[in-house]
Structure 1
């Protein structure tokens, strides 16, 4: 039995430093703009927190080039076969639902772990963008996809995001019928078919409604701060034989209304941000069109634009050209940012495609991939570090950036984790080797990479263990700090061998008992007159804080 004075949520969070950073929450766009903090000066939006994030791709939607090992399981085409399995549809169609679910469950369980989220926090990141497919919530009998089983894994990722102070964007990455032609990230490598029937739009809206209804519930603590309506839709104006602009516009308006009518808004917080992808059009087409007076999105609130900047398909063949192309993004992004928050939601260090034919990567190791990249010696490491810095200077003229991806099996320049390990990306995001010179097309001051004295490429980052304080340890320290000279409140805890736990605060106006669910999301009762906020971590460890006391469960 412990006795201690009750203390507030604010006191607790200041002790533990575990409150989410709310990078996305610091941006807000009223109808017609401009966004909060949009006044520009030499320090760029000092009142707003830049979004610094990573994508968790290749997880809840497979992409064969990112995880070729999954497409090498028994029953699928081997390295010498002409046949290929391009997407998750094909994987489950070939394996059958029972075997496919076994393969996917193992992948969902292991591809991202709590240690990954610790490292994201250690790296100074504040946001994760999680691609999700419609078929988690809405699937027909004719579709081979596994449905619903992903949710516990997604809940666990949200729990870890909350614990380690990461805002979450839930990105509807795939729509029924496919929103873009022959793209593996839609789950169906085929001609765009979203526009083929009104049923596809109805199903997409239903999936968004279910996603928003669940993950904006107060028990998730507001960790989901943004919803992206659809990833990379292709329209016929830019990509022939894809959906017409009018259909995409109709979908976005209806989807926005679904989000606003469904979400639960936590008191004191903004409504969830709604993000739209630029459909590979000009940002000014959006700021001067869809969001401008008379546009269908002019009366929206709390919205943002997502743009993806890749150079692997640019046709540029020389290193300086890649850096100059990155530098040129700064003024373009800054101009659009005056009207609406612009997030560079996908980019990488990749300047060439890798594992496009995933079977070429069967039986390769990460060491093989790194050897291929660094075979030209230190200059390659220097270029990749310079390419990173040029992109940072440009993208921080916008609301921020989200790297694709946090990890891959065999494409290190597309892996944030491996890029840090190779020192292409600094462990400290404030680190710069080159000074920025906006007046030059090549915006890095020093082009003579071999004369940089203090830079050592291939310095490994700590990849085994993060340095973020584990939740259990942090909470123990917080409670110990509150025990001094305390007599007015007591706490008792108990746990059974099955992992359920009970904690009751006495001497205060709040009490709580509960049993953690298998997903790690706590359930609670008896919390009358108390504002509870759940700090969710690994199964059987959870916390609830009341304004009049604290309840700790381990």
Structure 2
């Protein structure tokens, strides 16, 4: 929960700033807003929580979201041998020309304007748009298709604006991978902070910051996420902060003199970890901390009593109330199992049924995607769990569900959840009000 830049510098900041921004140093990093420029989006004054959806599996492939793209490689029914595990290997196996043909068809069809219209009609007010570094520029030996995705990102922003949806642009994959997850583009590798990878990722991020922080975007793009889910426990956090996050901050505030909101994922650190990093006193609330909450990626969570799961979900809200920054739950789902095929990766089983390494049997994953086989209790628990999360996250600035749609799974697909009365529609509807007993 990786082209050569296409006209990288054709987009230039065209307007000079009328009020200078003082340079920051270690003793004084106060940011003064230019008087004649748009302020960033004010999350507290929006008038409602962010109620958003992730556009997952589109511009960054994830096998469990679009398994048909990966099933095309299957050679036998007994195992996943030969099936690429991520977008890097998908492109490597096909070669760039064939990969470009297949991916272009995917980009043209998996999401269209009609989806954004439906998202708006359902009452959501925001979308998060993941994109990988390789959409803009690649390492010399990268197999990725490149140079095409930016046009789809721009089109999605236009659709969002048309249907009154706000947008986060999310750099979802870094060169070398920031977490080793398939959703970074490259699985089983965490080399993001190596000098070459860091330099390229920074170059791409600066381009994204420059383009999508321009005044023409600020009414729709209300934040840019510097990097999705850096795996803090496996990274040098000081290097992440000092060599990546702070330079990005300085670039947008000093070089671009932009008031765009910066989104920082919590890097799987505990609540309040980021309280003293770019505090509101230093940046007047121009920072959002993005917390991702899932309850299916350890045997202990999966085997917990349901009341404990509700209690955990409820606690995710109050724990943010005293954090220094605006906070949004930028990813969460309706999942109470990890049974969805390839959720844990191609060739990897599920913890729920004990097929994941070093796990144990909790229950069966058979017919997990056939809603007709779900018991009334499972349906009730799914709805209750989702409602508890929504209530908790709306104590602060809101939430972004992962994700709007998939090819086949239910627990990660808001369309299917709504169709089966497992997700509130309208979004403020509650079958199980006051579960969390918030005052």
Using structure 1 for the length normalisation, give the TM-score: 0.64
- 1:78–1:61 Cα change, 3 Å: farther
SS at match of 1:195: coil
Is structure 2 residue 290 aligned with structure 1 residue 303?
Answer: no
Bigger CA drift: 209-218 or 131-140? 209-218
Partners of 2:435 and 2:419 lie apart in 1 by 27
User: Which residue in the other structure is 1:459 paired with?
Assistant: none
Render the CA deviation track for 1:398-441: whole Å, top value 9, x for unaligned. Answer: 2100000111112211011111111111221121112215449x
Partners of 1:190 and 1:122 lie apart in 2 by 39
User: Which residue in the other structure is 2:337 paired with?
Assistant: 352
Is structure 2 residue 229 aligned with structure 1 residue 232?
Answer: yes
Partners of 1:407 and 1:199 lie apart in 2 by 35
Partners of 1:165 and 1:422 lie apart in 2 by 26
Render the CA deviation track for 1:335-354: whole Å, top value 9, x for unaligned. Answer: 22xx2111000000011111
User: Which residue in the other structure is 1:521 paired with?
Assistant: none
- 1:434–1:201 Cα change, 3 Å: same
User: Which residue in the other structure is 1:431 paired with?
Assistant: 429
Contact in 1 for aligned 2:129/2:169 (Cα 8 Å): yes
User: Which residue in the other structure is 1:335 paired with?
Assistant: 322
Q: Which has the larger radius of gyration?
A: 1
Following superposition, the deviation at residue 369 of structure 1 comes to 4.7
User: Which residue in the other structure is 1:147 paired with?
Assistant: 146
Using structure 2 for the length normalisation, give the TM-score: 0.80
Superposed counterparts of 1:61-100, under 5 Å: 61-73=60-72, 77-81=75-79, 82-100=81-99
- 1:383–1:188 Cα change, 3 Å: same
User: Which residue in the other structure is 1:480 paired with?
Assistant: none
Following superposition, the deviation at residue 330 of structure 1 comes to 2.3
Following superposition, the deviation at residue 244 of structure 1 comes to 0.6
Partners of 1:383 and 1:437 lie apart in 2 by 12
**Which among 25, 34, 39 is matched to residue 41 of structure 2?**
25
**Which among 275, 287, 292 is matched to residue 263 of structure 2?**
275
Render the CA deviation track for 1:192-227: whole Å, top value 9, x for unaligned. Answer: 11122x222221111012223333344546321110
User: Which residue in the other structure is 2:120 paired with?
Assistant: 121
Superposed counterparts of 1:290-329, under 5 Å: 290-292=277-279, 298-299=282-283, 301-314=285-298, 315-316=300-301, 317=303, 318-329=305-316
- 1:100–1:57 Cα change, 3 Å: same
Contact in 2 for aligned 1:63/1:87 (Cα 8 Å): yes
Contact in 2 for aligned 1:228/1:275 (Cα 8 Å): yes
Unaligned runs of 5+ in 2: 1-39, 350-366
Contact in 2 for aligned 1:132/1:172 (Cα 8 Å): yes
User: Which residue in the other structure is 2:171 paired with?
Assistant: 172
**Which among 246, 252, 257 is matched to residue 245 of structure 2?**
252
Contact in 1 for aligned 2:279/2:285 (Cα 8 Å): no
Q: Count the aligned residue pairs.
A: 376
- 1:413–1:187 Cα change, 3 Å: same
Render the CA deviation track for 1:438-492: whole Å, top value 9, x for unaligned. Answer: 449xx9xxxxxxxxxxxxxxxxxxxxxxxxxxxxxxxxxxxxxxxxxxxxxxxxx
Is structure 2 residue 397 aligned with structure 1 residue 399?
Answer: yes
Render the CA deviation track for 1:479-535: whole Å, top value 9, x for unaligned. Answer: xxxxxxxxxxxxxxxxxxxxxxxxxxxxxxxxxxxxxxxxxxxxxxxxxxxxxxxxx
Unaligned runs of 5+ in 1: 1-23, 28-35, 38-46, 266-270, 362-367, 444-554
User: Which residue in the other structure is 1:206 paired with?
Assistant: 203
Contact in 1 for aligned 2:332/2:401 (Cα 8 Å): yes
Partners of 1:264 and 1:290 lie apart in 2 by 20
Cα RMSD, aligned residues only: 2.5
SS at match of 1:201: helix
